[in-house]
Amino acid sequence: MSQDVKTGQGADTKIRKIVTRQFPVTGMSCASCAANIQTRLNKHAGILNASVNLATESVSVEFDQSVVQPQDLKDAVTSIGYDLIIDESENAKEELENLQLKRYRSMKRRTIWSVILATPLVLISMVFMNMPYAPFVMWALATPIVFWFGRSFFINAWKQILHGAVSMDTLVSLSTGIAYLFSVFNTLLPDFWHSRGLHAHVYFEASGVVIALVLLGKFLEEKAKANTSSSIKKLMGLQPKTVFKVLSSGEIREFLISKVKQGDIILVRPGEKIPVDGKVTSGSSYVDESMITGEPIAVIKETGSKVFAGTVNQKGTFQFTAEKVGNETLLSSIIQYVKEAQGSRAPVQKLADRIAGIFVPVVVGISIITLVIWSVFGGENGFVQGLLSMITVLVIACPCALGLATPTAIMVGIGRGAESNILIRDAESLELACKMDTLILDKTGTLTEGKPSVEKIEWRSSGDKAELEKVLAGLERLSEHPLAEAVVRHFNNSISDIRFENVKSITGLGIEGFYNGRKFYAGGSRLLSENHISIIPELDTLANQWEEEAKTVVYFADQDEVLAVLSVYDRLRETSSAAVAQIRKLGIDVRMITGDNGLTAAAIAKKSGIDSFEALMLPSAKAAYVEALQKEKKIVGMVGDGINDSQALAKADISIAMGKGSDIAIDAAKMTIISNDLAVIPAAIRLSRNTVRTIRQNLFWAFIYNIIGIPIAAGVLYPLNGFLLNPMIAGAAMALSSISVVSNSLRLKYLK
């Protein structure tokens, strides 16, 4: 988006080129990171407004292109320890995914090695402190942890300090750096403290363990970000690269899709994807529009019928006039809508991240004040005691427990979800699911199996039933219609090498053919009427009853009469009604939406125990329905399986895809039901509620620990009873707080 704005008058008139662009950002780990980037950009000349979205790892920037260029924005972000991806080529998305994957692998290696080295550090400090040269051994173990595996904390903290910013990296680097340097001094010059009547303690284990634990917390966050969604790329892949245009001379020539213009005549052959939106001008075929409607039954396309980009032609050949091309097609609008829905979501800021912006500078300030007060009022050894208290404050306040409170609970929750056949890809969704008050279920492929099948067959009493079954199966095998495929699947074991003569597939009606000199038909009611085929009252009544139940009726007949009627139906999943009942017991309003007709929708809704439903819903209508409920202040969950559901899934607060559905739906959703069993959704909701409860407990204990521990570490009890917290005890307390948080999170494995 861009606009030209004139400023000034006369010769001083300047044209400002105002543009709004969105760029991916890498390297963010908390809310303070997002705030730092946003502040840095908003201070830059030529930038009118910058808004950082932590959830999507992107920044939207409104800037004057005559003053500042994207490279300047990149330099500004890079200067404080992050990176801005300004490349807008087709490969930019893939490059970003590779960068994130590389970052994830690096974090994994650093975390593993830091934990390996930190383990003997703890053992030596607690059990083998009196071993020969223990301080030097601990020094050797701690050095690579602090300055190699944990170097990013120091680099980022330094860059941020240069620009007047702080984050959790600041607190980690200060506490571990001072503890490390203090320990090195005590290792090399222990007599400095001995001459003053003090013991030369070393705190290498504090610096090493802090780095290892914080890296573990960050790794857990990186693990969720490593598998970047490729839904947009897959959606774009639905559109073919080339098309066959029919020129005015009648010649058919292949062109790039970018060369297609409105009014061009396009040829579509069997099995090809339709490249743009348009209207059929000649020929006919069945087109799979499941990506649009979600319905498994292909739709007949004849002269005058609308066709849409991305849908798949089956066996027929036809020509159509291009009406909407480029970004105007329905497929392009879906792609754009998904992009906007994903990008417009407000970042879900965890409590720990929101507090970090205040917590970090406050702790640093307290530690400095502690040193100053001790130096002024502490007497002869005031500086030494102040330095020890300062280190103790930084160590005890290190945000390990705070940083682990959420990711450990999330990790256990995700593990429990996997055991319940639900794959949770977004931790925020797991947290948010506990607040969900409305759940929308797609019909086809979600509540139903997504595959039409023959439900019932009623035969006329006369004739050889076994032989006629073979004839029906053999005839339908020659048809390209999806309903015929359902019949063939039903009679799979009955298919033989029956050979038909003069077979004719009648578009929109059915199929006919001769066997042993006898003519047979299979199709709809119009096929019967056009061939003046009679039907006995009993079968006619049954067929009407099935149609009233919103089932599709297939007639099998010879030249004289109807031999059988078949009810073809997309079955309700066995667990759907029970799952709906369980979800409603949890206090959640359950609704259904579908692109199918109203009769079928009503029948499925009734069987499922759903009171509210919407039928004949296109993808945009589904998304609008979700948005309308959100405007009513509802927390909306969406369950779907098709490409047609991707817009609604992207828009919903909690999105769940069926595991055997389309890849696009799975990528757009934040949760995936691996088993395709809706019964796991109530379990997922209960899991979410237990997880959020555990997170709140973890954060409570982490904050209580800091609220009590920091003043004691600063020495508030010293004037009263002479008690001064040893940094070693502070390190142990810090470790204990982390252990308590992890232990509480592990309880999720046993909660129901």
**Residue 589 falls in the annotated catalytic set:** no
Q: At 223, give phi and psi (nearest 5°).
A: -60, -35
Strand order in the sheet with 448-459: 448-459, 562-572, 552-558, 518-523, 510-515, 501-506
What three-state secondary structure class fits 244?
Answer: strand
* CA 89 vs CA 2, 86, 96, 372, 587: distances in Å: 19, 9, 11, 55, 47
Nearest alpha carbon to residue 15 among 28, 25, 3:
3
Exposure class string for 521-542: b at 16+ Cβ within 10 A, else e: bbbbbebbeebebebeeebeeb
Under DSSP, the state recorded for 534 is B
List 64, 169, 277, 442, catalytic entry: 442
**Gap between the Cα atoms of 36 and 647, Å rounded:** 32
Q: 440: which strand partners?
A: 591, 638
**Residue in this structure with the two tokens 């705190």, named with its chain if needed:** 203
Taking each helix axis as running N to C, give the angle between helix 204-226 and helix 168-188, from 0 to 180 degrees, rounded to the nearest 10. 150
**Gap between the Cα atoms of 338 and 648, Å rounded:** 9
Supply 565's token pair: 């009627």
Residues in the chain, overall count: 752
Q: Where are the beta strands (DSSP E) in 460-578?
A: 501-506, 510-515, 518-523, 552-558, 562-572
DSSP string, 72-86: HHHHHHHTTT-EE--
Taking each helix axis as running N to C, give the angle between helix 727-746 and helix 204-226, from 0 to 180 degrees, rounded to the nearest 10. 30
Q: At 139, give phi and psi (nearest 5°).
A: -60, -45
**Gap between the Cα atoms of 368 and 304, Å rounded:** 79
* CA 123 vs CA 159, 175, 376, 593: distances in Å: 35, 21, 37, 59
Supply 93's token pair: 């998305």
Q: Are 572 and 450 in contact (CB under 8 A)?
A: no
Between vectors from CA 592 to CA 456 and to CA 621, what angle results, nearest 5°?
115
CB atoms within 10 A of CB 604: 26
Which H or E run contains 283?
A: strand 277-283
Q: Are 204 and 181 in contact (CB under 8 A)?
A: no
- Name the CA radius of gyration of the chain, rounded: 34
**Gap between the Cα atoms of 50 and 657, Å rounded:** 33
Q: Which residues contact 188 (CB under 8 A, 6 or more apart)?
A: none
Q: Are 52 and 39 in contact (CB under 8 A)?
A: no
**Gap between the Cα atoms of 691 and 97, Å rounded:** 29
Q: At 692, give phi and psi (nearest 5°).
A: -65, -40
Nearest alpha carbon to residue 476 among 465, 467, 489:
489
Within 13 Å and on the Cβ side, how many CA atoms surround 344? 11
Supply 612's token pair: 């509210």
**Gap between the Cα atoms of 43 and 242, Å rounded:** 47
Q: Are 239 and 232 in contact (CB under 8 A)?
A: no
- 3-state SS of 305-362? CEECCCCEECCCCEEEEEEECHHHCHHHHHHHHHHHHHHHCCCCCCHHHHHHHHHHHH
Catalytic sites, residue numbers: 442
